[in-house]
Amino acid sequence: MSDLGRVLRLDARRTALLVAVPVLTVVGTAAAALSLCPVAYWDNAVVALLNAVRFLGPVAAALAAWTAVRERPLDYLRDLTARSPATGVLFDLLLLSAAALVSYVAVTVLVVAITLVEAEAGHLHPLGVLSGAGALVLHVVAGYLTGRAAPHRATAALVFAATSLWAAARVPGVSWWSLLPPAAFDRVALFTTLRPEVLADQLTWAAGLTTALILGYVMWVTRRFLFVLPIVVALAATVTATLGLHRSGGGAVTPVSAEPVCRDWPLTVCVHPALRDALPRLIAAATPLAARLDGTPAAFTTVEQRPAWAPLTVMDGVAAVHLDEQLSPGYAARAMRQISESLKDATCTTPPNRYRALVDAWLLGDDPPAVPDARAARQFASWGETRRRSWLRLHFTDYRACALGPADFWTSRTPPTTHAMRDGLTAPRQLTAPRQLGRGN
């Protein structure tokens, strides 16, 4: 009974391994912070967790190997009991895995809290969270069993070096190899999402290999070959997951539609839910431009953010824009410039037409550029807002074709409103509230 008590007290002292939790938590938090984007997008929260495992895994593996080496000389105490020789190893793996998972949960809670505080968008991928946990447990198991197989002082350092090289040998988005746990992911752009099948394959890969390692060690120490079939099944699952990741070709994301967030006055402006903070500035920047283009073929009452791969057009009263996801300074002005550039006809050539640039500066509220004919510039500058809008209606075809010249400004001595009325055009109408679309913020 005294020997059994010594063994039980030894196993109880294994709980001291929980001191590793703060260390792993600090490492995981620092690693997740490097990948966590300012824009709260749930896909990027999962990416931050998965990328954190690339740093957290080698540390956990090294701690597990160090524990195995440190406790290996005390195995004779466990041999004094009637328990299976694999019991102590499985108990150690349970404690080490629990310590690593507690730190992983702490990092997960922090990342989720940060995402919730922001204007979060998208949906959390539970498979992604489980995939990171599976990869972390795999590191613990591999590190501990390596320490058991090679109980030397240098084993922990070698395990840390090997797992660090394994994690570093991945370049996001280059090859399917980068998707093997611990996977490396790029930041997920808006209007895309992580592919669930990739996350499922990663979880299966880590779980299958972890199971095979544990059962293989148990079979080795117990000499019971009935574990061969479960090991074969676990390895088959790992191979199947590997083939699935190979078929993905390194593509971990797929396009996805997102229900936009909109404001409907005085224009309808719609953006990705993660960028709802951009609405006030976009409305303020788009309203003057929409008023100046009112009555032309490029008139619009709606501005919509489109994915980066979608073309920029002004069609049927809808102006499409692209936004940078970080909303860096000047994003609203850049979006309005995109609308202006999308009005160019295919006949526009380089070098740019300076007279068109003069009109663009007025449309965008910029300082007017220098033009070859100073008289035309003075003429345009002397007109009021109403006269400029009427003039643009008459000369919009030349403006779109980048064919404006000094004669277009010289021949406008009479008020353009007179020409507009003669050609059947009316005076510029006031920009009114767009049709309500049933969406709002």
Read out DSSP for 333-378? HHHHHHHHHHT--TT--SSPPHHHHHHHHHHHTPPPPP-S-HHHHH
Residue with the two structure tokens 């204007």: 119
CB 125 within 8 A of CB 46: yes
Whole-number pLDDT of residue 91? 83
Residue 83 is predicted with a pLDDT of 58
Do 275 and 154 lie in one domain? The reply is no
Q: How many domains does the chain have?
A: 2
For residues 187 and 326, membership in a common domain is answered with no
d(Cα 304, Cα 321) in Å, to the nearest integer? Answer: 6
What is the signed CA dihedral for 38, 256, 237, 96, rounded to 10 degrees? 20
Is residue 271 included in any domain, yes or no?
yes
Cis peptide before 266 (omega within 30 of 0): yes
Per-residue CA distances from 356 to 241, 293, 342 (Å): 57, 14, 13
The predicted structure's pLDDT at residue 423: 36
pLDDT at residue number 69? 84
429, part of any domain: no
Longest CA–CA separation in the chain, Å = 113
Name the β-bridge partners of 305. 321
pLDDT, position 181: 93
Quote the pLDDT of residue 38. Answer: 66
Angle at 66 between CA 132 and CA 26, to 5 degrees: 45
Both 150 and 201 in a single domain? yes
Same domain, 218 and 333: no
| Residue 401 near residue 345 (C-beta atoms within 8 A) | yes
Are 304 and 395 in a shared domain? Answer: yes
The phi, psi pair for 329, rounded to 5°, reads -55, 135
- The predicted model scores a pTM of 0.80
Final residue in a domain of this structure, among 255, 275, 300: 255
Residue 199 lies in a domain: yes
Q: Give the pLDDT confidence score for residue 72 in this predicted structure.
A: 58
Is residue 427 in a domain? no
- 408 and 267 co-located in one domain: yes
159 plus 274 within the same structural domain? no
CB atoms closer than 10 angstroms to residue 300: 23
Q: Are residues 133 and 274 in the same domain?
A: no
Is residue 40 in a domain? Answer: yes
| Residue at 81: amino acid letter | T
| Same domain, residue pair 330 and 370 | yes
Q: What is the pLDDT of residue 19?
A: 57
Is the domain of 173 the same as that of 246? Answer: yes
| Residue 441 belongs to a domain | no
Under-70 pLDDT residues of the chain? 1-20, 38-39, 71-85, 119-120, 411-441
Residue 400 in tokens: 């779109």
- Whether 221 maps to a domain, the answer reads yes
Within-domain flag for 26 = yes
Domain that holds residue 164: 2-255
118 & 179 share domain:
yes
For 100, residues 6+ apart whose C-beta sits below 8 A from its C-beta are 20, 24, 56, 60, 136, 137, 139, 140
| In a shared domain, residues 7 and 83 | yes
DSSP assignment string, 275-338:
GGGGHHHHHHHHHHHHHHHTTSTT--SEEEE--TTSPP-EETTEEEE---TT--TTHHHHHHHH
Q: State the pLDDT at residue 212.
A: 97
